[in-house]
Amino acid sequence: MIQHESFSARVRDHFDWPLFISAMLIAVLGIVNLYGATSVYSGARAELYIKQIQFLAVGGVLGGVLLAVDYRHLERLGYVLYAFGVFNLSLVFALAKGFTRGSQRWIEIFGFKYQPSEFMKIYLVIALAKYLHDDPRNEGRTLRDLFIPAVLTFVPALLVLRQPDLGTASILVLIFLSIALMTRIHWKSLAAFVLTVVPSTYVVYDYVLLGYQKARITTFLNPEADVKGLGFHAYNSRVAIGDGGLFGAGFMKGTQNQFGFLPDQFSDFPFPVFAEDWGFAGSVLLICLYGFLTVWSIHVASQAKDRFGAVLAIGGASILFWHAVINIGMTAGVLPVVGVTLPLFSYGGSSMLTVLIALSLVMNVSMRRYGGVPAPDRL
């Protein structure tokens, strides 16, 4: 017997509280941290946390509304959304007026700055989910079988790279790789892949990457060489993290941020602020929250009742995972400094909405893992 249950009943029965609570915890920590981080400014920047709360609210409402729509509806829209995303990315070149750090990433609509590359991550996940859903296999795949998903990935990735935004381009590729790892690729194919990627990385580094992008990578390899220049961020964020020690300097007590040594603390470098204020204890707590959210999303994927849902959840998990890892990794000096935000911590509307939509998708999958059947404990 199939029960038709209402959305409210589904919310009651299947709402993913662990995911919601851990995400909320991160968001609250993020806003508190943003408040402390921007307290060094006066004027508009000191009030970024208020806008961030607004973004969180808008994103929460949007996520909630999306929750009401069965994720399977997205399946039909998959390529349409993808095309919309790619179109928006192309628009950046045509319309972009905003210049942030020498690159064009924004489109301005009704006074809002909108960053298509952020949303592209979601569209890509949906498109990949749809492709894999429509191409069900159980036997091993060769690289050729992943050719179309790869094309789906590299078209927006290259557009983003030309903005230029190395960080987001890498995230797109990493999302694709994470999802591709879910499929049963032949080991031989994997080996062939590695053999192609390594030389091509060199070619990309040599011919495609721009001067400042190369400089960032060089800086990453040897940050002390250039403390006052590009290495300033890398060096000082590492120092800030280390200065936190075991338990931190206390809220708004970290000197690296308070005295202006973390200039991008509200956007790309909120983690050093947090790590300096709360120390190793706080940092581990935060990583545990991200870790839990990631692992939980993978668990949701494993429980999904179809491939589309599983890939959506894996995609959501990898958006979260790669952002957190790359951002914390770059501030801790183990990865080059690229403009990748820390989910729910970095200030920014597009970033906040993207993360919340991704989480909402995961929850959507989570809530509908039992299909029309009520949760087992309610049977």
Extract the tokens encoding 10: 């589904």
Instruction: Please enumerate in sequence order all residues whose Cβ is within 8 A of that of 368, keeping only pairs 6 or more positions apart, or say none.
Output: 10, 14, 70, 71, 72, 305, 309
The answer to whether residue 256 forms part of the interface with other proteins (CB under 8 A) is yes
Q: Does 133 bind other proteins (CB under 8 A)?
A: yes
According to DSSP, the residues that pair with 107 across neighbouring strands are: 114
In the set 37, 317, 338, 356, which binds other proteins (CB under 8 A)? Answer: 317
**Minimum separation from the CB atom of position 258 to other proteins (A):** 7
Positions of E strands within the chain: 107-109, 112-114
184 binds other proteins (CB under 8 A): yes
Nearer to other proteins, 113 or 305 (CB): 305
In angstroms, the CA 126 to CA 140 distance is 23
Stretch of 22-30, 55-63, 211-219, 330-338 lying at the interface with other proteins (CB under 8 A): 330-338
Q: How far is the CB of 298 from other proteins (least distance, A)?
A: 4
CA distance 219 to 236: 13
Scanning residues 214 to 243, which ones bind other proteins (CB under 8 A)? 236, 238-243
Q: Closest Cα partner for 361 from 50, 130, 173?
A: 130
Q: How far is the CB of 329 from other proteins (least distance, A)?
A: 6
Cα distances (angstroms) measured from residue 331 to each of 168, 206, 336: 16, 25, 9
128 lies in the site for other proteins, by CB under 8 A: no
What are phi and psi for residue 50, nearest 5 degrees? Answer: -65, -45
Which residues lie across from 207 on neighbouring strands? none
112 contacts other proteins (rule: CB under 8 A): no
d(CA 362, CA 304): 10
DSSP category for residue 165: -
C-beta closer to other proteins: residue 268 or 276: 276
Instruction: Tell me the residue ranges of DSSP E strands in 45-185.
Output: 107-109, 112-114
261 touching other proteins, by CB under 8 A: yes
Task: Render 33-93 in DSSP notation, one character per residue.
Answer: HHHHHHTTS-GGGGGHHHHHHHHHHHHHHHHHHHHHS-THHHHHHHHHHHHHHHHHHHHHH
Q: Three-state SS for 112?
A: strand
Check residue 378 for interaction with other proteins (CB under 8 A).
Answer: no
User: Hey, which residues between 335 and 354 contact other proteins (CB under 8 A)?
Assistant: none
Per-position x/- string for 134-163, each x denoting binding to other proteins as judged by CB under 8 A, each - no binding: x-xxx-------------------------
Q: Which stretch binds other proteins (CB under 8 A): 52-60, 95-103, 158-166, 175-183?
A: 175-183
Give the residues lining the site for other proteins (CB under 8 A).
Answer: 2, 4-7, 10, 68, 70, 72-73, 133-134, 136-138, 178, 181-184, 236, 238-246, 255-256, 258-261, 263, 275-276, 279-280, 283-284, 287, 290-291, 294-295, 298-299, 301-302, 304-308, 310, 314, 317, 321, 324-325, 328-329, 332-334, 371-372
